[in-house]
Amino acid sequence: MSSLRNRLTLALTLVLAAVAALLAIGLQHFPRELVERYVASRLEHDAEMLYVHFDEAAAASASGSASTSAGASIASAASASAGEALGGEYALPLSGHYFVVKRVPRVGVGAAAADETFLSRSLWDEELPVAPLTGAAERVTRRPGPAGQTLLAYTRRFAGADADWTITVAEDVSGLDASIARFRRVLLSTVLAALLALAWLQREIVVRGLAPLARAVEACRRLERGESVAVPSAAPDEVRPMLEAVDRLAHHQAQRLSRVRHAAGNLSHALKTPLAVLAQIADERDAAGDATAAAEIRDQVDSMRETIERELRRARLAGSGVRSGGFDAREQLQALAEALGRLHAGRALRIDVVAPATRFPLDREDMLELFGNLLDNACKWAKTAVRVELAERDGALHFRIDDDGPGVDDALLDRLGHGTLRTDEHKPGHGLGLTIVGDIVTQYRGAIDYRRSDRLGGLCAAGALPLGDEALASHADDRRR
């Protein structure tokens, strides 16, 4: 994963997921333990109350009438006093509140007696088996109860004056379990929604935090499209030095390219005078009757002029530092066609333009140079009609220029656009137009093909210029070389 935004988002999301997992584990046990502790503390209080009442009843029964059954006397007296202290829950059948009291007399203390067990009236005819305590003085357990209830049972051993008491108090917690489960579902749903909201929020924070980088990338792309913009430096401290460095580099590169272009222009102007002198010498030799020497001098002068013009064109293609705006296909091609139409007004030449009303991310001057040379070449050779078509397909700008002129011999088609090939010495120019076209197409990583037109019968120049970011970046790299 190469995206910093996605990596930060994934890391923060994993942290939130870990927090959610820990919270879910906590919700699985904490509410239940909290409720059980509360219920156990209440059951402990009830067990202590029962011990007090049963122990007092046992003591009173021991000093009372012998005709009364000891167990019945203890149970009756304890139930009466406990009922007043604990309420009527332990007397209502299957109320969910139960107790089991077991009395074990000590050996050697008073008269020997058997173990006694006393049950709450709420048990009715149900039984609540109690496992003996081993080692610990108290115990809290969950166990099934009567009528499908789930009981939380508290068991404790007490040491009385003449006997040991084991008291178990139980309460139905089925309703509490259902409430805890409902609370857990609601809370988990709320937490999940909150986590999703937090994940979205942290994604927005990451996006906003990296927004200066996105603005810098957009500024660079606008520079590639030919717009004059500055790389924004309003960014966090960690990012600002990089953006400022990029802005300085762009400014330095623009200045460097401008100096190179001006130097090439100055060189061209400096060579004009010596070339004019050489041309004059050629005329003088020709007038003196030395036509051969004059022709050789003129050929060399023309060759030097062609070389200078060609290198000046390439220097211009290398950029002047700041590129022009995007290429408005229909508007600018129609203006170019009107200008050429006026230039060839005496020939009644028709120039048809079929292009979308779209601004393409291509340098306007480059495109005018490209299509200007292609249309100028077509107009020179056309009889009555020239047609230019542009269309965007498959991430590229496809173009085609047809004319109804005589066309080019098949043997020369592959050589068009290479060097300064001229197919007719009687036509004006030095043959640089199609060479410049080839240079522009090459710098844009495009392709161009010359063939016989199947529409108008003359020459057809068809090609494509990529419009993707990679192609534009490559073109920008070529400009910086």
| Ordered DSSP codes for 168-230 | EEEEE-HHHHHHHHHHHHHHHHHHHHHHHHHHHHHHHHHHHHTHHHHHHHHHHHHHHTT----
| Cα distance between residue 382 and residue 350, in whole Å | 9
* Region 242-264 average pLDDT: 73
- Mean pLDDT for 227-231 is 64
Span of 39-48, 262-271, 464-473 with lowest mean pLDDT: 464-473
Number of CB atoms found within 10 A of residue 214's CB: 12
Q: At what angle do helices 240-287 and 211-224 cross, to 10 degrees?
A: 10
Query: Does the structure show a pLDDT above 50 at 429?
Result: no
What confidence score (pLDDT) does residue 473 get? 52
- Averaged over 140-152, what is the pLDDT? 90
pLDDT greater than 80 at residue 323: no
Cα angle 286, 289, 293; round to 5: 55
- 430 pLDDT above the threshold of 50: no
The answer, yes or no, to whether residue 325 has pLDDT greater than 70, is no
Q: What is the DSSP string of 397-414?
A: EEEEEEE-S----HHHHT
pLDDT at 433: 76
Tokens of 479: 């400009």
Residue 347 has pLDDT above 50, yes or no: yes
Rounded CA-CA distance 136/143 in Å is 19
Share of the chain above pLDDT 90, in %: 19
Of 99-103, 186-190, 210-214, where does mean pLDDT reach its minimum? 210-214
What 8-state DSSP symbol labels residue 96?
S
Please give the pLDDT value at position 420: 52
Judged against a pLDDT cut of 60, whether residue 477 lies above it is answered with: no
Is the per-residue pLDDT at 14 higher than 50?
A: yes
User: What is the overall mean pLDDT for the chain?
Assistant: 80
Q: Which residue has the higher pLDDT, 23 or 368?
A: 368
Assess whether pLDDT exceeds 60 at residue 297. Answer: yes
Q: Any idea which of 27-31, 40-44, 422-426 has the lowest mean pLDDT?
A: 422-426
Per-residue pLDDT at 398 exceeds 90: yes
Does 424 or 253 have the greater pLDDT score? 253
Q: Does the structure show a pLDDT above 90 at 169?
A: yes
Q: What are the b/e assignments for 4-43, b being 16+ CB within 10 Å?
A: eeeebbeebeeebeeebeebeeebeeebbeebbeebbeeb
55-114 pLDDT per residue, tens: 887 777 766 544 445 555 566 656 656 656 677 788 888 889 998 989 888 776 555 467
Residue type, 88: G
Q: What is the pLDDT of residues 437-473, one digit of tens each?
A: 888 898 888 999 999 999 899 999 999 999 865 555 5
The more confident residue out of 18 and 233 is 18
Find the range with the poorest average confidence among 114-123, 207-216, 442-451. 207-216
Q: Are 435 and 420 in contact (CB under 8 A)?
A: yes
In whole angstroms, give the CA distance from residue 361 to residue 397.
10
Would you call 123 exposed, middle or buried from its count of C-beta atoms within 10 A (0-12, 13-18, 19+)? buried
Q: How far is CA 51 from the centre of its chain?
A: 68
pLDDT surpasses 60 at 220? yes
Mean pLDDT of 428-433: 54
Question: Is the CA virtual torsion 439, 441, 447, 448 positive or negative?
Answer: negative
CA distance 435 to 416: 8
Could you give the CA distance from residue 446 to residue 397 in angstroms, rounded to a whole number? Answer: 9
Residue 230, pLDDT above cutoff 80: no
- 174: its two tokens: 């089925």
Distance CA 440, CA 369 (A): 8
What pLDDT does 378 receive?
A: 92
- Of 40-44, 153-157, 223-227, which gets the smallest average pLDDT? 223-227
Taking CA atoms, 325 is separated from 71, 209, 375, in Å, by 108, 30, 22
Structure tokens at 101: 């009291």
The helix (run of H) or strand (run of E) holding residue 247 is: helix 240-287
Q: What pairs with residue 115 in β-bridges?
A: none
